[in-house]
Structure 1
Amino acid sequence: MKNLSITISISAIFCFLTACNSNTDTSASTQVEQTKPLNVLYIMTDDHAAHAVGVYEGRFAKLNPTPNIDKLADEGMVFTNTFVTNSICTPSRASILTGQYSQTNGVLDLRGSISTENQHLPTLMSNAGYQTAIIGKWHLKKEPGAFDYYQVLEGQGTYFDPTFRIQGENVWPKNEVQYKGYSSDVVTDISIDWLKNKKNNKPFFLMHQFKAPHDMFEYAPRYEDYLAAETIPEPTDLYGVKATFGSIATRGVNDKLIKNIGTSVSKRHNRRSMGIDLGVDPSLPEEEFTRQAYQKYVKAYLRCVKGVDDNIARLLQTLKDIGEYDNTIIIYTSDQGMMLGEHDFQDKRWMYEESIRMPFIVKDPRMTTQGQKSDLLVNNTDFAPLILDLVGIKVPEYMHGKSFAPALQGKTPNNWRTASYYRYWTHRAYHDVPAHFGLRTKDYKLIFFYGANFMTKPFPFYDKKWVAKTGLHNSAINTPAAWELYDLRKDPTEQNNVYSNPEYSKVVDELKIELKRQRKLYNETDKQYPHLQKIIDKHWND
C-alpha cells in the first residue's frame, strides 16, 4: 500500500499511519479513511498489574476480574510485552507525558514534578486543534496547565470523599473542592459530565486516570461480597523463594538481608508486612498468617479493580450515548504493574516481571486486527508518540519513545528496539527495594543492583519508626552490588538467577553492550553521580 501524507489540522483526513513521522514505519495504511478527526480517550489505572486483567490470562483470569476491559480488548489489540521504565507512580506518569526517560524529564522519584512547559503530550494535542482534559490522578505536583481543562486529585488522593483541584476554582494549589462518594465513581462522574457538556465541537483528548487499585486497597462497600467465597490462586513462591532466586543484592550474603529487603506479604520483612497492614492476627503460625494475609490482600486489590472495570463500562456507554464511540481511539493501561505475592513481595518498584509489565490495550475504529495480541517490545516512553502518530501529529525528536502504530495493522515498525531499558532510582525508601537498572528483552532480563542512593544526603520518607529505632535512614544504607540474569523462555516466573552460569556468558556480554549503549542513548548515565559510577565501574565485570 502506498504512503499517505497528512496535514496537521482538524479538517484534514486523519489516516491510520502518517508519513510525516520519521519515527514510524509507514509502509502500511488502513483501507478505511477517516473523514472526521478521531477523539482519544486514554484510561489509566494505578498499579493495575497485567496479570490481574483477564485477557492477559494470568492466574486470576478464571475469576473474571475485568469483563469490561476484556470486551474492549476483543474490539482492539492487546500488547503483551509493554513495560514501564521506572516502576513508581510519579516517574511513570512523567515519562508518559513527555515521551522521555526519567533523567531527561527530571522526575527520578516521588518528589518529581512536571511544569506546564514540559507537559508535551497535551501541548502538542492542543496545538493540533484538540480540546484536552485530565480528570483523576495527576501526582506530578505542579498545575496541569497544558490541559484546557482539569479536575485532578490532590496528591495521591483518597478513596472516599476525595478532594480535587479544579481549573478555574481559585489559584493552584488552593483550587480545591471535595466530593462525596467513592473515588472511582467520582472520577468517572466528572469525566462523564465533561464529555456530555463540552463547549465546542473540537475533537477531544481526555486522560481519565483512576486512583485505584493503589494501596491501601479501599473498595466500595458494594463489593464486599465479591470473591468472598473464592480462594484466590497463590503464586508458587509465596511461602518461600528458591535458593536459586535473587543474589546477594536482594538476599544478602548467606541470606542475611532476607528480613530487610523487599516488603512482604508474610511476616518476613522486619519493617513492613502486608498482613500486618491489613490487620491479620500476628500471633498466627507463619504459614497460616501468610495464607490469610495473601487472601485478604488480593481480594481487596481485585475489589478495587472491579470498581474500575464497572466504571469503565459507564464511561464507554457515555461515548455511545453521545455518538462518539465509533469515532474515538480508546487506550487502556496502568502506570505500572504490581507484585501480588510473587517472591513474597508486595508493591512495585522491582524490575521483576509482575512489577514492570503494564497492561496496554488499544481500540482504533480504523483497525483491521480486532481481538489480536502483539508481543512487540513496548515501553511507556512510546505512549505519547503512539497517540500523536495515530491522530496525525509529527512526533518530536526530543521524545525518546517511538510510535508503534504499524503494530495495529499486524506489522513490525522499522528499526524497533530489541531491549527495553529500566531504572529504579529510589534506593530502599518506602518498600526497601535496592536501586538498580537493567534490560528486558523478549527472552532475557539482565539486572544490576548497585544498591546506593543517588542523593548523598537522602531525604526522609515515612519510615520514621525505623529511624527512631535504629538511628539510621534505610535509604542511606547501601546494599551489596550484584547482577541477576533470568532466562524468560525457560523460567518465566524468574526463579533461577543464571548470571553465573557459564552457558550464558555470551548472552551476558551482549546484553551489557546493549545496556551501556542505551544508558548513553537515553541520557541515563551517572556522570553527575560519581559515587554511583564508582560502584558501577567496580562491579561491571563481576
Structure 2
Amino acid sequence: MEHCNKLLYGGMLSLSALAGCTEPVTEKPLNIVYIMTDDHTAQMMSCYDKRYMETPNLDRIANDGVRFTNSFVANSLSGPSRACMITGKHSCENKFYDNSTCVFDASQQTFPRLLQKAGYQTALIGKWHLESLPTGFTYWEIVPGQGDYYNPDFITQTNDTIQKHGYITNLITDDALDWMENKRDKEKPFCLLIHHKAIHRNWMADTCNLALYEDKEFALPDNFFDDYNGREAAAAQEMSIVKDMDMIYDLKMLRPDKESRLKSLYESFIGRMDEGQRAAWDAFYGPVIDDFYQKNPQGKDLANWKFQRYMRDYMKTVKSLDDNVGRVLDYLEENGLLDNTLVVYTSDQGFYMGEHGWFDKRFMYEESMRTPLIMRLPKGFDRKGDITEMVQNIDYAPTFLELAGVKVPDDIQGVSLLPLLKGEKPAGWRRSLYYHFYEYPAEHMVKRHYGVRTDRYKLIHFYNDIDAWELYDLEKDPAEMHNVINDPAYSEVLADMQAELKKLQILYNDTDFVK
C-alpha cells in the first residue's frame, strides 16, 4: 500500500488514492465547486432546521453527502471571514481584521494561488469583499463591495465596471455556469468559487418570489425580549429588531412623508430597478405599506410585525438562492461532473433570526459563530450523514489543497477535513476553537472580543472600552442567557477554559491578548 501515498497527475492526488487504492489508478483529479453565501444561517436551511422553510436543493447536497453539525467561523464578519477561509489563517495572521479599515493583501498565500500553481483552473464569481482585486484566479468577475440585488455592477478582469440586467443571484449563477460550459479548459481540473451576495441585508427578493410566505406566521424566539442581565456587551449593541431595524431600508415601508436614517440608501437601491421590476415591487409592497401605516402598530405589536416582515423577506431571498444552487447541481449532473467533484455549500457566518431580539451577527454567541457546512462528496468517498467534530472556516483551505494533492504549507493554521470525509475518526482532533472579533466602533456597535469554545463551554472576553468576561455552560444554557463567570460552582471550569484560551492564543500567534 506504499504507492497510496504517491502523488499523481503532476502533483494531484487521484480519486483512487484517496479512496484507499481499491481500484486501479485511472480517475481524473477532483474538481471543487465551493458555493458561499453571505449571512445565511443554519436556522433557515431545512436540512438543519425544519421550523421555518424548505430548501430542497440545499437539502440535496446534505442528503447525498455530509452535514457538519459543529461548524464555526473564526471572526463573524463578511470580509474577515472570507480572509480566514481563503488563507486558512486567523485574522491575526492574514491581517484582515475588519470591514472598516482593512485592505486584503492579495499578494499573500491563498489556496487558489496554490491550486493554480498545481495546474488547477481557478475561478471566482460574485462577492469578494476584500477591497483589493482578486489574485490567484484564472478567471474572476466580482461585485464591488456588497453588490446590488437589482441590475448590479460587476468588475471584470480587465478592470472595467459593467452593469448587468437582472437579479444578482441569477446573474452570478449564469456566469458560473457559462464559465464551466464555455470558458474553462475541460481537460484540466478546476476549482470554482461561486460567492453570492444573498442573503445579506436588506433582503431584497427577486420579483418572482415577492408574494411567497405571506401566509406564514412565525413564533417569536423565547429570548426575543432578552433583558441582557449580566451581559454588559450584549446590552450595548445596536442590532435590535425592535430598536435598530430601519423601517424603510430594512422593512421597505417607503412613503414620501416618512423619514429614516437609511431612507436615501434604500431609494438608491430601488432606483436601480427598471420599469417592470419597479412596477412588480410597488405592486407587492404598496398594499403592505398602506396596511402598516393605517394600522400603526405600537409596542409589542410593532415588534412582532417587524419580526414577521424580516422573516418573510429573508426567506424570499433564500428561495432564489436555493433555486440557483439547484441549477448548479443540475448542470454538474447533466454534464457528468458530479462523481468527480466536491460540492461545498456554506456561509461566511451565521445570523440572528430574532434570537436575543437581534438581526446581524458579530458576536461569539452561537447563532453567529456557527455557520452551515454541507458537502456532496465525489465518488469513492463513502461517508454519509452527520459529522460532529468541531470544524472552522480556516479548515477549508487545507481541505481543498489536500484533496488536490497539493502540499499544505506549514503556516496554514486550519486542519484538513479530508480524514473526516473519508469516514475516519482522527485521534486527537481539536477540542477547542478560537474566535476574535475586532470591528468596534462600527455599525451595530458590537464590542471587540475574543474567546474559546469547547464542546460544552464558552469563555469570552470583551475588551477595548470595556473589560468584561462571560462564561457559558452550553449544555445547560444553549441560548447563552446566563453568564456564570462569577458562579463558584464553575471555578474549575473557568480555570480550564482560561488555560485553553491562552494555549490557543499562543498557537495562533495572537499573543498581544494573552492574560
Smaller-chain TM-score range? 0.7 to 0.9
Equivalent in the alignment of 1:41: 33
Aligned to 1:4: 4
Partner of 2:168: 183
Q: For residues 122 and 337 of structure 1, do their structure 2 counterparts lie closer, same or farther at Cα, with a shift above 3 Å needed?
A: same
Q: Following TM superposition, by how much is the alpha carbon of 1:339 offset from its aligned partner in structure 2, in angstroms?
A: 1.1
Q: Structure 1: how far apart are the matches of 2:310 and 2:247?
A: 8
Trace 1:173-252 onto structure 2 (pairs within 5 A): 175-200=160-185, 201-241=187-227, 243=229, 246-251=230-235
Percent identical among aligned pairs is 38
Partner of 1:52: 44
Q: Which residue identity does 1:131 align to in structure 2? A: Q
**What whole-Å deviation, never above 9, does each CA across 1:127-156 have from its counterpart, x for those lacking one?**
111111000000111111210100111111
8 A Cα contact 1:65 1:302, kept in partner: no
Distance in 2 between residues matched to 1:90 and 1:343, nearest whole Å: 24
What SS is found at the alignment partner of 2:93? helix
In structure 2, the residue corresponding to 1:211 is in which secondary structure?
coil
Q: 2:83 touches 2:94 (CA, 8 Å); kept in 1?
A: yes
Question: Secondary structure, in 3 states, of the residue corresponding to 2:47?
Answer: helix
* Structure 1 residue 8 displacement after superposition: 5.3
Paired AA for residue 205 in structure 2: Y
> Structure 1 residues 399 and 8 mapped into 2: Cα distance closer, same or farther (>3 Å)?
farther
Separation in structure 1 between the aligned mates of residue 386 and residue 47 of structure 2, nearest angstrom:
10
Equivalent in the alignment of 1:520: 506
The amino acid across from 1:266 in the alignment is V
Cα pair 1:131 1:204 within 8 Å, conserved: yes
1:45-124, aligned counterparts within 5 Å?
Answer: 45-57=37-49, 61-110=50-99, 111-124=101-114
- 1:448 aligned counterpart, secondary structure: strand
1:275-286 aligned within 5 A = 275=247, 277-278=250-251, 279=253, 284-286=297-299
**Residues 1:274 and 1:443: Cα distance change in structure 2 (over 3 Å):** farther
Q: Residue 183 of structure 2: SS of its match in structure 1?
A: coil
Task: Give deviations 1:214-238, integer Å, cap 9, x for gaps.
Answer: 0010110111121110112321111
* Contact in 2 for aligned 1:232/1:295 (Cα 8 Å): yes
CA distance in 2, matches of 1:421, 1:155: 27
Q: CA, structure 1 residues 410+116, in 2 after alignment: closer, same or farther (shift >3 Å)?
A: same
> How big is the shift at 1:313?
0.5
Gaps of at least 5 residues in structure 1 are 19-27, 252-259, 453-477, 527-532, 538-542
Partner of 1:529: none
Q: Distance in 2 between matches of 1:262 and 1:427?
A: 12
In structure 2, what is the equivalent of residue 530 of structure 1? none
* Whole-Å separation in 2 of the counterparts to 1:90 and 1:50: 20
Encode CA deviations 1:151-188: one digit per residue, 9 max, x unaligned.
11111100011111111x3xx3xx11110000000000
- What is the SS of the residue equivalent to 1:229? coil
Aligned-residue offset at 1:63:
3.7
Matches within 5 A, 1:62-461: 62-110=51-99, 111-167=101-157, 169=158, 172=159, 175-200=160-185, 201-241=187-227, 243=229, 246-251=230-235, 260-267=236-243, 272-275=244-247, 277-278=250-251, 279=253, 284-450=297-463, 452=464
Aligned residues: CA RMSD: 2.2
Amino acid at match of 1:209: H
Tell me if structure 1 keeps the 8 A contact 2:121–2:184.
no
Deviations 1:485-522 (CA, angstroms, capped at 9, x unpaired) = 11111221212212211111111101111101111211
SS at match of 2:166: coil
* 1:511 has 2:497 as partner: yes
Q: Using the alignment, how far apart are the partners of 1:429 and 1:13 within structure 2?
A: 45
1:466 aligns with none
Q: Distance in 2 between matches of 1:141 and 1:183?
A: 20
Q: Helix, strand or coil: the match of 2:310? A: helix
Q: In the TM superposition, what whole-angstrom CA distance separates every residue of 1:194-215 from its partner, at most 9, and x where no partner exists?
A: 1111342211110001100000
Q: Distance in 1 between matches of 2:323 and 2:312?
A: 16
The answer on whether the counterparts of 2:78 and 2:348 sit within 8 Å (CA) in structure 1 is yes
In 1: Cα distance, 2:488 partner to 2:92 partner: 34
Residue aligning to 1:23: none
TM-score (norm 2): 0.87
CA-CA distance at 1:52 after TM superposition:
1.4
Structure-1 separation of matches of 2:15 and 2:28: 10
Shift of 1:273: 2.6
Counterpart amino acid of 2:317?
C
- The separation in 2 between residues aligned to 1:389 and 1:354, in whole angstroms, is 30
